[in-house]
A = this chain, B = another copy of it.
Amino acid sequence: KQYRIAVIPGDGIGKEVMPEGLRVLETAAKKHGVSLHFDHFDFSSWDYYEKHGQMMPDDWKEKIGKHDAIYFGAVGWPAKIPDHVSLWGSLIKFRREFDQYVNLRPVRLMPGVPCPLANRKPGDIDFWVVRENTEGEYSSVGGRMFPDTDREFVTQQTVMTRTGVDRILKFAFELAQSRPKKHLTSATKSNGISITMPYWDERVEAMAKKFPGVKWDKYHIDILTANFVLHPDWFDVVVGSNLFGDILSDLGPACTGTIGIAPSGNINPEGDFPSVFEPVHGSAPDIAGQGIANPIGAIWSGAMMLDHLGEKVAGKSIVDAIERTLAERTLRTKDLGGNADTTACGKAVADMVD
């Protein structure tokens, strides 16, 4: 089978890291007999927005909705386009309209990456954050009353549906069950957020009954963030609401020093719609155009994409190559104390794939 991939580099360093991601994907595909076909799109970018006054063409869903996956660079350029236009006009639109209800990010201490935590070494930290990606705190329900007076107030609803909560929990429990430690941690705040969060807890308990082989626990989000710093070795799969997952999936990579190289998947597990794979970093206008951006986030996202497509061996070959590349100072980029540029680092990973 040939996989059709929509490639959207987006803005800023997105355009620089994507060619390296593609280089590595092509190498791994060839080595492992996987057939990939790439279609390139220029929307979701400032250039496109400047020309058309919107982030994407009206028929964006027809253009990319039938692909097997979307490989995405970076979007957002606050100095030129307000976030609510650029992000809500592309990334968040994908999540909602392609029902990508899982946001998946690894937290892994890699060789060669300076760790901000004391006394941790590669192997100590290796878990996944599973984030609900369509509802929860990111709702569009709410408003303002008595504007510009002393009585002014705004409200915004957090919305949790049975469907939305159960399906993300199911995904997280299944992931936990597939891993050696079989351990799931739920992020909650039911002692303070007294309506939605007790409901989340209730559904976790119900779902846990269906996965008797998975050990599970829960922490309130405040102490959970503390435990990411103090005991990152405790975790295996961590599941949270849209907001809690957002926080934990930035904090986790920060704790392993990998925020600049972390990958992510916005996944529709049923495959009714394509999933989006993108580095966690943004378009970084400040360093764009210099050829120094670290391509590992994009490359690693490519590995996650292969994994999602069912090509696990090819995906793993890339992650292994990343680890071997990062271990060599001469092959890492400057942000990690190395001296390679974007292309040299990308080529190094491609060479390491086997």
27 A-B interface contacts by CB (under 8 A): A83-B191, A84-B191, A116-B229, A117-B229, A118-B119, A137-B158, A140-B194, A141-B155, A142-B157, A150-B162, A151-B161, A153-B161, A154-B160, A155-B159, A156-B193, A189-B243, A193-B243, A221-B247, A222-B250, A222-B251, A223-B250, A226-B254, A226-B259, A229-B229, A229-B255, A247-B247, A251-B251
Question: What separation, in Å, do the CA atoms of A117 and B117 have in the docked complex?
Answer: 4
Kindly provide the distance from the CB of A19 to the nearest chain B CB, expressed in whole angstroms: 27
Q: For chain A residues 207-244, which have a beta carbon within 8 Å of chain B?
A: 221-223, 225-227, 229-230, 242-243
Taking the complex as formed, is A171 at the interface, i.e. its CB lies under 8 A from any CB of chain B?
A: no
Asked if A196 and B156 sit within 8 Å, CB to CB, the answer is yes
Asked if A153 and B143 sit within 8 Å, CB to CB, the answer is no
Taking the complex as formed, is A81 at the interface, i.e. its CB lies under 8 A from any CB of chain B?
A: no
Asked if A246 and B229 sit within 8 Å, CB to CB, the answer is no
Kindly provide the distance from the CB of A25 to the nearest chain B CB, expressed in whole angstroms: 28
Question: What separation, in Å, do the CA atoms of A196 and B142 have in the docked complex?
Answer: 8
Kindly provide the distance from the CB of A182 to the nearest chain B CB, expressed in whole angstroms: 25
Assign chain A's interface to a size class.
Answer: 35 or more
Taking the complex as formed, is A310 at the interface, i.e. its CB lies under 8 A from any CB of chain B?
A: no
Taking the complex as formed, is A87 at the interface, i.e. its CB lies under 8 A from any CB of chain B?
A: yes
Taking the complex as formed, is A115 at the interface, i.e. its CB lies under 8 A from any CB of chain B?
A: yes
Given A138-B194, A226-B250, A229-B255, 13 new contacts (CB under 8 A): A117-B117, A117-B229, A138-B192, A141-B155, A150-B163, A153-B159, A155-B157, A155-B195, A156-B193, A192-B243, A221-B246, A226-B254, A229-B229
Taking the complex as formed, is A253 at the interface, i.e. its CB lies under 8 A from any CB of chain B?
A: yes
Question: What separation, in Å, do the CA atoms of A195 and B143 have in the docked complex?
Answer: 7
Taking the complex as formed, is A152 at the interface, i.e. its CB lies under 8 A from any CB of chain B?
A: yes
Taking the complex as formed, is A199 at the interface, i.e. its CB lies under 8 A from any CB of chain B?
A: yes
- The answer, among B118, B142, B160, B191, for a CB contact under 8 Å with A118, is B118
Main secondary structure, interface of A, reads: mixed
Which residues on B sit within 8 Å (CB–CB) of A83?
190-191
Which residues on B sit within 8 Å (CB–CB) of A162?
149-153
Which residues on B sit within 8 Å (CB–CB) of A225?
225, 247, 250-251, 254
Taking the complex as formed, is A1 at the interface, i.e. its CB lies under 8 A from any CB of chain B?
A: no
Question: What separation, in Å, do the CA atoms of A137 and B116 have in the docked complex?
Answer: 31
Q: For chain A residues 94-137, which have a beta carbon within 8 Å of chain B?
A: 115-119, 137
Question: What separation, in Å, do the CA atoms of A250 and B192 have in the docked complex?
Answer: 14
Taking the complex as formed, is A144 at the interface, i.e. its CB lies under 8 A from any CB of chain B?
A: yes
Which residue of chain B lies nearest to A83 when distances are taken between CB atoms in the complex?
B191
Q: For chain A residues 141-193, which have a beta carbon within 8 Å of chain B?
A: 141-144, 149-163, 189-193
Question: What separation, in Å, do the CA atoms of A152 and B196 have in the docked complex?
Answer: 12
Which residue of chain B lies nearest to A200 when distances are taken between CB atoms in the complex?
B154
